Amino acid sequence: MRLLLCGDVVGRAGRDAVVAELPRLRRSLALDLIVVNGENAAHGFGITDKICEQLYAAGCDVITTGNHVWDRREIIPYIDGDPRLLRPVNFPPGTPGRGHGIFAAHDGRKVLVVNAMARLFMDAIDDPFAAVAKLLDEHRLGSVDAILIDFHGEATSEKASMAYFCDGRASAVLGTHSHVPAADYRILPQGTAFMSDVGMCGDYDSVIGMQAAGAVARFVKKMPVERLQVADGPATICAVVVETDDATGLARRIAPVRIGGRLTPAWPREMEATVDALSS
């Protein structure tokens, strides 16, 4: 089975790029399930119901989020009615929405997708390790065909710790939130794929997706400045594809995907289903 996670979608530039490329990505890499982190999709802060529908129409199967999930208040009454839109599973009991779900791949196989949020340098929140452990005890590989965990956090140490904590019990633990694609993608000793951060889908002529002038001013002046504005130049899609073993559900291969914009392209030629050139 082949699973794709697109990193944090930032603003219109990121949305437009993802919507344009998802159909080709599914076709070219023979993807069985596509997950997109959409927590920065609405002008860089939060997500709306209309953006969810736009991503689904393009071929996204599941949307994950993180600390910005509630930035657009209109998502609060919507999220309970959309089982494909996840918020971190370790939010306190009673929080609207859900933090995991079992989703059908295109051939009917079952994939558990978990959205968890780290705590180091992040908001105060319940223990992500306990929340993930509970789910892995309830849904073991074998009862589901694959398990993908989007671990949204700041510290690479906490993300790596979660990956080793889940090694042999999940297909992949993939980090989001920092907006910078990491070079540490690998398969851990017991078969779980890991990458500490997938990166963002947005304009990299920016400060993590925001126009540079406003971001620099915050550091230089150390005073309140106007709200950060999303960079709207050509976007790079940063994603990662994981191929799992049909018998065990563990990872066989992991590879980064980078398309368009300013970053050096990355494309898993060995995983192509058809010959497609990189986007210009």
Q: Which residues are catalytic?
A: 68
Q: What is the DSSP string of 112-169?
A: EEEEEE--TTS-----HHHHHHHHHHHS-BTTBSEEEEEEE-S-HHHHHHHHHHHTTT
What is the rounded distance in angstroms from the CA atom of residue 202 to the CA atom of residue 208?
A: 8
Instruction: Copy the structure tokens of residue 50.
Output: 């209309």
Of 47, 34, 41, 35, which Cα lies nearest the Cα of 17? 41
Of 69, 121, 61, which Cα lies nearest the Cα of 95? 69
SS3 40: strand
Of 115, 80, 114, 75, which Cα lies nearest the Cα of 94? 80
- Output the CA–CA distances (angstroms, integers) from residue 178 to 122, 146, 175, 181, 201, in the order listed: 11, 25, 8, 8, 12
SS3 223: coil
What is the rounded distance in angstroms from the CA atom of residue 5 to the CA atom of residue 198?
A: 8
Inter-residue contact 105 to 140 (CB < 8 Å): no
Task: Report the phi/psi class of residue 214: left, alpha or beta, with left for phi > 0 and alpha for psi in -120 to 50.
Answer: alpha
